[in-house]
Amino acid sequence: MKKRNKFKHFLYLILALAMLVYALPLISFSGGWSWASAFGTAWALFAFLVIGAHLHYLLGVDEEKQKALDRIKAAKLRQWQMKWPEDTQRGQENI
């Protein structure tokens, strides 16, 4: 399942790059700033944002962060489990 998910992101990355390669030469700044050139610039910035997001996912930055969070959660659980017998012992003494 994970392989297919990465394939999907790779495919979308290639498509975004292809659209960007096709569109960048068509954006003209020779006549100064116009609505068409402003739209082309904004569109190119969004395309770069999409490409960056897919690269972020494909490089596995989220997986590393998730592993770090899992280690922190496991450490907190161990601390809580070590403290728990002390709490139950105090509760039995009060009864």
Q: Are 13 and 54 in contact (CB under 8 A)?
A: yes
Query: 35 vs 15, 25, 27, 43, 66, CA distance in Å?
Result: 25, 17, 11, 12, 43
Looking at residue 19, its pLDDT comes to 93
Q: Are 13 and 55 in contact (CB under 8 A)?
A: yes
Residue type for 34, please?
Answer: S
Looking at residue 88, its pLDDT comes to 60
Could you tell me the pTM of the whole model? 0.60
Task: Please name which of 60, 65, 27, 59 lies closest in space to residue 43, comparing C-alpha atoms.
Answer: 27
Looking at residue 33, its pLDDT comes to 83
Q: Which residues of the chain are under the pLDDT cut of 70?
A: 1-3, 85-95
Q: Are 37 and 27 in contact (CB under 8 A)?
A: yes
